[in-house]
Each structure stands twice: as structure tokens, then as C-alpha cells.
Amino acid sequence: MTAVPDFPFDPKEFIGKRALVTGGTKGMGQAIVRRLSAAGAKVATTARSPLPEGQAPALFVQADISTAQGVNRVASAVLDAFGGLDILINNVGGSSAPSGGFAALSDEHWQADINANLLAPVRLDRAFLPRMIERGQGVVIHISSIQRRLPLYEATLAYAAAKAGLSNYSKGLSKEVGPKGIRVNSIAPGFIETTAATALIRRIAAEAGTDEEGGRKLLMDSLGGISIGRPGRPEEVAELAAFLASPRAASIHGAEYTIDGGTVPTV
């Protein structure tokens, strides 16, 4: 990971810190890996596919973390290599459920979305928290979604419900481990133009017989519009994650930060 983030940052802020960012080969995860590494952290990451050429995190573990075995593989590789973690960013999530509303979603679709969006972070937290608690310090961040309170029903009922569970779990966990020195927060992105979002834009465009720009507009319209007039960028989410992971956010705990360009219409 040689590319430098777009925003000014302190290149020494995370020196001596060990981090795991799940799903760090694309999208927001890749931007977060890059941001933490550029500020001096030793960063491990995971993906199901092999590490793409040109990326060089301190540690890469190829595993599907929507399974217990995959999480175990990641946890033992990271504990062997790093001995523990100071920062755990649970970024993996998403859905490949079909469109068609409630009737199109089988038990298998529901379970897959719960596994990737809720159980993966729950299992990883369980693997790493004991050592953080022993040391009396650590930071855990969960990447949720605005869909946890602004659910869409065409293809994402299960995804939105799993993210709602994640945000709720994140708050509950914060109450338990905050007094032991661990800070837990979540981030709820709106439409961020990542690899996954670009694929969705192309699918929407193809279905509607329009071009990529038309597909982007249709996606923005389906969210009720984005006040700032554009989707967010992965680097913008990475800035928020870096801030929350840093001592600058020392009294921010049990909170959820929305980063959606003004999409959610309510207070």
C-alpha cells in the first residue's frame, strides 16, 4: 500500500499500533488500510480473493469471515503475527441477495446476510477483546449502514435487518467493555462509491436501459436524494474511521457516526 491518502494527516499518529481491518482489498476497507498504514500502523487485512497486485498490507489472510472457520483462521494468523490488536475495524459486509422483496428471500439469503454483517464482527470481537481487556485498552469500530434505520425493501431487507442488529450489538458491547478501557463505536455510511456500489450502479443502469450516470442518479433517487448531490468517497469514510480510532476521539464511545451527505431525512 504505497498510495498516500488525499487529506492532510499526521504520519506518526498510529506508530506502534496494530490494526486489523477486515475486507481491506477494495472499497472503504482498502481506504482505511491505506490511511492507517500511512499514519504508521501495522495493518492486517482479509479478503476471500487473493491479495490484488500492488497492495502490501503488513499481513494478509485469505479467508471467508462469514464462517466461523474463516474467522478462526484470521484470528490465529493475526495473534501469531501481531500478538494482539490495538484497533479492530469490522468492515466486511454487504449482500448478494436477489431483488423481489420479502418473497424472494429464502432462509439461506437471510442467513448469509446475518453471517457476513452480524456474526463476522461478533466472532472477531470475541476473538480479540480478551487480550484488549487484559491490557486495558483497545478500539473497536463496526461499519454498519444508514439502512439500519432507513431500510430499503427491494433487495436488502435481510441486509438492513442485520445492520440494525450490528448497531444495536455495538451499543450493548460498548456498555460492557467501556469500563474495561475499550472504546467501541460504529459508522453508518450512506451511498459510498466503492467497488460494490459501482457494480450495483451498473446493474441498475443495465436493468433501466440507461448509462452509468443514469444508474447513479437512479440509486441516489431510491435513497430519496443526497443533499450534497453526490455519493461519498471511500477516503472520506477512512478519515472518519482514523479519527475514531485515534486518541483524538478518546471520549467518543458507544456512538454511531452517520456519513451520508445528508441522505437520512430525520434527526
Ligand X SMILES: NC(=O)c1ccc[n+]([C@@H]2O[C@H](COP(=O)([O-])OP(=O)(O)OC[C@H]3O[C@@H](n4cnc5c(N)ncnc54)[C@H](OP(=O)(O)O)[C@@H]3O)[C@@H](O)[C@H]2O)c1
The smaller minimum CB distance to ligand X, of residues 8 and 108, is found at 108
Taking a C-beta distance cutoff of 8 angstroms, is the pair 28, 143 a contact?
Answer: yes
The smaller minimum CB distance to ligand X, of residues 145 and 167, is found at 145
257 is catalytic: no
- Residue 140 has a CB neighbour count (10 Å cut-off) of 26
Binding mask 49-88 for ligand X (x = CB under 6 A): x--------------xxx----------------------
Give the chain's length. Answer: 267
User: Considering the rule CB under 6 A, would residue 191 count as an interface residue with ligand X?
Assistant: yes
* Catalytic member of 153, 159, 169, 257: 159
User: Considering the rule CB under 6 A, would residue 186 count as an interface residue with ligand X?
Assistant: no
User: Considering the rule CB under 6 A, would residue 92 count as an interface residue with ligand X?
Assistant: yes
Angle value at C-alpha 22, between 213 and 45, nearest 5 degrees: 110
Measure the CA dihedral 120/1/52/213, to 10°: 80
User: Considering the rule CB under 6 A, would residue 170 count as an interface residue with ligand X?
Assistant: no
The smaller minimum CB distance to ligand X, of residues 61 and 129, is found at 61
B/e letters for 165-185, b = 16+ CB within 10 Å, e = fewer, are bbbebbbebbeebeeeebbbb
* Residues between 110 and 129 that touch ligand X (CB under 6 A): 116
User: Considering the rule CB under 6 A, would residue 5 count as an interface residue with ligand X?
Assistant: no
Binding residue (CB under 6 A) for ligand X from 195, 202, 235, 255: 195
For residue 264, the minimal CB distance to ligand X (Å) is 12
For residue 60, the minimal CB distance to ligand X (Å) is 10
One-character DSSP codes across 122-190:
HHHHHHHHHHHHHHT-EEEEEE--GGGTS---SS-HHHHHHHHHHHHHHHHHHHHHGGGTEEEEEEEE-
CB burial of residue 256 (10 Å; 0-12, 13-18, 19+): middle
User: Considering the rule CB under 6 A, would residue 215 count as an interface residue with ligand X?
Assistant: no
User: Considering the rule CB under 6 A, would residue 235 count as an interface residue with ligand X?
Assistant: no
Residues that bind ligand X (CB under 6 A): 23-29, 46-49, 64-66, 91-94, 116, 143, 145, 189, 191-192, 194-197
Q: Which residues are catalytic?
A: 159
